[in-house]
Structure 1
Amino acid sequence: MEHRMHPADCHAVHRFDGRNGTVTAAREYAQQFLERCVPPLTAAVKGDALLVVSELVSNAVRHAPGPCTLALTDDRQRLTVTVSDTSAVTPVARLPDLVAGTGGFGWHLLHRLAQQVAVEVHASGGKSVTAVLSSRTA
């Protein structure tokens, strides 16, 4: 696993292998990052950010073979969560499945929690999904 920290701990990037335990490891990594943010984030912002990390990493593990990368940035106004994976297939909203339990909630959840959600497909293969949350309340 690769780990890089940037000046003032405001940006961090970590590569995960995509195997069993990746989602838990990504949440733990994100939790440690969120605890270092200055000024401190509210419990609500931390909770929303951890849900976003869980959803994005879960989708990367489920739908893209191999490793994924989690990048976190706090610029003291916005918290940006980006997950890059090996699949060029873009996520699409679908109706939540309340009967068979096959999901369909995540994309809607991301759009409710984030101010902005963007998908970038890379010419070299794979994609990045970015969610931007407000990191400070007015």
Structure 2
Amino acid sequence: MTVQRRIDLTHSTDAPAQARRIVAAFLAEVERVHGHPSSATTVDAVLLVASELVTNAVRHTPGPCTLSLTLQDQGVLVEVSDTSPALPRPRLPDITGACGGWGWPMIDRLADEVRVTRGPGGGKTVRTRLSW
């Protein structure tokens, strides 16, 4: 069974919060309608990964992004496509908070799989898979 949601998000500081609302509603529907388990730990991990991916797209790319969620038998795919061909690059976290560096390591730890693919239009998609 495949359940999917896809939404285009504007290039604004509101996009990460909108992504969190979309993910929360998606996971609630998956649990209610399809009976897939979604523990608080799973919900938190999916919310964090989606929010961080959208935040990175807003902070580091010039245009809008698209959030895609796909339910799979063993978990959920969270994908964010953006307009920049630049691949994410890990940075040392800045403990002063001035320039970030915390998101990518967190995504890498929470997701079972992380892949980045370039799109045909010059942008890229960051695809993560999180198990239930």
Q: TM-score, normalised by structure 1?
A: 0.87
Distance 1:54 1:128 in 2: 15
Distance 1:123 1:9 in 2: 25
Distance 1:51 1:131 in 2: 12
Q: Could you tell me which residue of structure 2 aligns to residue 33 of structure 1?
A: 26
Unaligned runs of 5+ in 1: 1-7
Decide whether the 8 Å contact of 1:9 with 1:36 is kept in 2.
no
Decide whether the 8 Å contact of 2:2 with 2:72 is kept in 1.
no
1:88 aligns with 2:85: yes
Decide whether the 8 Å contact of 2:115 with 2:128 is kept in 1.
yes
SS in 1 for 2:127: strand
Between the two structures, name the one with larger relative contact order (CA 8 Å, sep ≥ 6). 2
Structure 2 vs 1, CA of residues 100 and 14 (structure 1 numbering), >3 Å: closer, same or farther?
closer
Runs ≥4 in structure 1, deviation > 3 angstroms?
none
**Number of residue-to-residue matches in the alignment:** 128
Distance 2:82 2:57 in 1: 6
Identity among equivalent pairs (%)? 41
Unaligned runs of 5+ in 2: none
When the two chains are superposed, the root-mean-square deviation of aligned CA atoms in Å is: 1.4
Distance 2:12 2:98 in 1: 22
